[in-house]
Amino acid sequence: MRVEGILTTAAVFERDRYVVLPSLLKQPSLTKLYHYACKVSELLAVLSPGDDQVVGTPRAYGDFMMDGLLGDLLPEIERASGLALFPTYSYFRVYKHGDTLAKHTDRPACEISVTLCLGFEGEKPWPI
């Protein structure tokens, strides 16, 4: 679909199977979620210190704040993708210096995924 000669995000998503949505989250929500994730990761470092993909890096599945974010972002993600979606789960990590996430294929429940950088400490964000 084109709007005045410009591809819509849904058309880009259909063509490329991904779309970049800068500023999907606005301030102050972005900073609050970043600080929340950092604080939770301090607890998770002891309780849930990683998985097979990034060993030793705190992560959380089904966190109530991140699950809430799924619902909050759903209308915008549906608009951007042109799809009617059903949120399945949330998962977050707070990566440490030196962490790497190898290219991988997610499980079928991740058919449509949203990847967000909530914040970072350093010169530039980790490339997604």
For the chain, the structural domain boundaries read: 24-110
Residue stretches of the chain with pLDDT short of 70: 1-5, 46-47, 49
pTM of the model: 0.83
- The amino acid at residue 74 is L
Return d(Cα 123, Cα 40) in angstroms, integer: 23
> Which pLDDT score, from 0 to 100, does residue 42 have?
86
pLDDT at 5: 56
Instruction: Return the residue matching tokens 């950088």.
Output: 117
> What's the pLDDT score for residue 63?
94
User: Which pLDDT belongs to residue 125?
Assistant: 76
**118 vs 7: CA distance, rounded Å:** 27
